[in-house]
A and B are shown apart, each in its own frame.
Chain A
Amino acid sequence: MMPVTAGSANPSWSWNLAADIRDMFSYPFMVNAFRAGTIVAILAAVVGWYMVLRKQTFAGHTLSVAAFPGAAAATLIGISATIGYFGFCLAAAAVIAVASRPERLRGFSAESAVVGTVQAFVLASGYLFATLYNGVLSGLNDQLFGFTFGITNDQVVTLGVVALAVLAVLAVIGRRLFFASIDGDVAGARGVGVRLLGVTFLLVLGAAAAEASQITGALLVFALLVMPAAIAQRMTARPLAGIALAVVIGVVASWAGLTMAYYTSYPSGFCITSFAFAGFIAVRRFGASA
């Protein structure tokens, strides 16, 4: 697949918004970038809201980077990248779920060592696969920092189907997961399967990370997971309103970032994270603490 960069379109911003947008959407790669970006932003915001609530940002970051060895391994042995992404992210989620199981007595510190070790090892494996494949360094950059402007129709369909499946799982377990996240002991006493919910959520997080990393690259997924959710949780403590707000923020940041990337030809990952981070700073500075 030929990587299509925004630079090849050579656009210029005219302040005539309608014309600018029509111009931008005359390129199929931009249409697909917006479709995929929207799907990923919605999914990442919803899953990220639970991730921030459960204080699993470190695990979330680790699962995000597991996408990189997935993509590199798929390239090396010549299978579909999608299988590589989901295989590695879900496997890493399972490892973290199993390894952090007996740690409740020893507290968070031992768990964070597990997560850190898993993260460094998956990244090192990714580097090994990329080295064995012998280069194609632009491919390495895409896997790490994303290739938003080279998405095909088929990929958009795959992204949409997976996003729907993950959101359906979350819709089923959402209420119980919220209960278990707020007060695990009480939830356990009331017969909620806290442990099973924790494992399920890690797998959901892995699937969301695998999905999102195809758009933003393994290193920048984490921005879409953590920032909209962090902003939303500072603005409201109400769960449904918070999730809705996170989705809106994630989608707006993605659209603004993609537009900026199109008109400046800066990396889309940088543009999207910049808009999200600006929102985060604004809400910390001016927003009421929830």
Chain B
Amino acid sequence: MTAPYMQHAALAGSAIALAAGLIGYFLVLRSQVFTTDALGHVTYTGAMSGLAFAFNPLAGLFVATVAVAGGFAVLGRRARADDVVIGSTFAWVLGLGALFQHLYTTRHSSGNGRAGATYLFGSIFGISSSQAVVSAVVSLLVCAVMIVIARPLLFASLDEAVAGARRVPVRLLGAVFLVVVGVTCAQAAQAVGALLLLGLIAAPAGAAHRLTTRPAVGLALAAGLALASTWFGLLISYLVPRTPPSFAIIGVATLAYLVAFLATRRRVGNLQHI
């Protein structure tokens, strides 16, 4: 367990999981999970553009994701409501990613079929020590921002009109939140990949929402579950080397959600009869 790649994975993975849990709680609360789905796909196209046009794929991934998140933020309330716009946009962005991958693999004929899979499904065991430190710092910054804006954002998410009347800057908060989501997606894409980061964000947060309605407890629970999923996932993948780490992490997170779902099913079912 003390191998350098394992330490880097644990460092980056833990910080990313904390950030993913915190923003996930708000994403589920604000019904913006689909936006995360879209941003996850953008990370792939960003990384592929970097490979296709010969600049740093991580830079491409980061810039593309934060830019699209910013675009959603500018569109504001309309973009939030209209999942058809989000869906059509990211379906095309993904097509663009397929084009970039095609350009990359045809230009570099030596076996680069691996490149696409790396960005789609992550390669947490391939993170270098400098990347791990950068991921940890950025993710902890995300956590700090989330803790600072948590109270007003919670107010704005639960009752936008009243929060606006009480002079909470609802639009600005929504925009800042989306950019933070973009940064987190870009980080998480390196750990679990463009397609699976949705699980690290949605499953722990969804479980937390089912288990408690108290916001502070829920936030802590979401972050804790994401962290535990990452640790157990890394451990499983270490003990059973044929299991890809991203599958193990998402598998544990899904299991946590399933347990929460079954444990609270009766309670939620009873609510219906009120």
Cβ-defined contact, A114 with B206, below 8 A: yes
Contact of B87 among A128, A141, A220, A226 (CB under 8 A): A226
Say yes or no: A120-B31 contact (C-beta < 8 A), given A104-B272, A270-B96, A280-B88: no
Say yes or no: A124-B28 contact (C-beta < 8 A), given A105-B271, A269-B98: no
Q: Select the stretch in B146-154, B159-167, B238-246 that faces chain A.
A: B238-246
Q: Is B145 an interface residue (CB 8 A)?
A: no
Chain B interface bracket (under 10, 10 to 19, 20 to 34, 35 or more): 35 or more
Looking at the assembled complex, report how far the CB atom of B113 sits from the nearest CB atom of chain A, in whole angstroms.
4
Cβ-defined contact, A270 with B265, below 8 A: no
CA A61 – CA B254 in complex, angstroms? 18
Cβ-defined contact, A113 with B84, below 8 A: no
Q: Is B5 an interface residue (CB 8 A)?
A: no
Residues of chain B within 8 A (CB-CB) of A82 are none
The secondary structure that dominates the B interface is helix
CA A102 – CA B114 in complex, angstroms? 42
Q: Is B205 an interface residue (CB 8 A)?
A: yes
Not counting A112-B31, A219-B98, a sample of 16 additional A-B residue pairs whose C-beta atoms are within 8 angstroms of each other reads A61-B87, A65-B195, A110-B206, A110-B210, A113-B203, A117-B202, A117-B206, A117-B253, A117-B254, A120-B254, A121-B250, A123-B250, A127-B246, A138-B113, A140-B117, A270-B95
Q: Is A158 an interface residue (CB 8 A)?
A: no
Looking at the assembled complex, report how far the CB atom of B215 sits from the nearest CB atom of chain A, in whole angstroms.
14
Cβ-defined contact, B91 with A58, below 8 A: no
Cβ-defined contact, A274 with B113, below 8 A: no
Cβ-defined contact, B265 with A267, below 8 A: no
CA A146 – CA B16 in complex, angstroms? 32
Q: Is A125 an interface residue (CB 8 A)?
A: yes
Looking at the assembled complex, report how far the CB atom of B165 sits from the nearest CB atom of chain A, in whole angstroms.
22
Cβ-defined contact, B251 with A55, below 8 A: no
Q: Select the stretch in B32-40, B58-66, B135-143 that faces chain A.
A: B32-40
Residues of chain A within 8 A (CB-CB) of B195 are 65, 120, 123, 127
Cβ-defined contact, B200 with A277, below 8 A: no
Cβ-defined contact, B102 with A270, below 8 A: yes
Q: Is A86 an interface residue (CB 8 A)?
A: no
Residues of chain B within 8 A (CB-CB) of A121 are 199, 203, 250-251, 254
Cβ-defined contact, B36 with A116, below 8 A: yes
- Residues 233 to 287 of chain A near chain B (Cβ within 8 Å): 233, 266-267, 269-274, 276-277, 280, 284
Cβ-defined contact, B95 with A131, below 8 A: no
CA A132 – CA B243 in complex, angstroms? 8
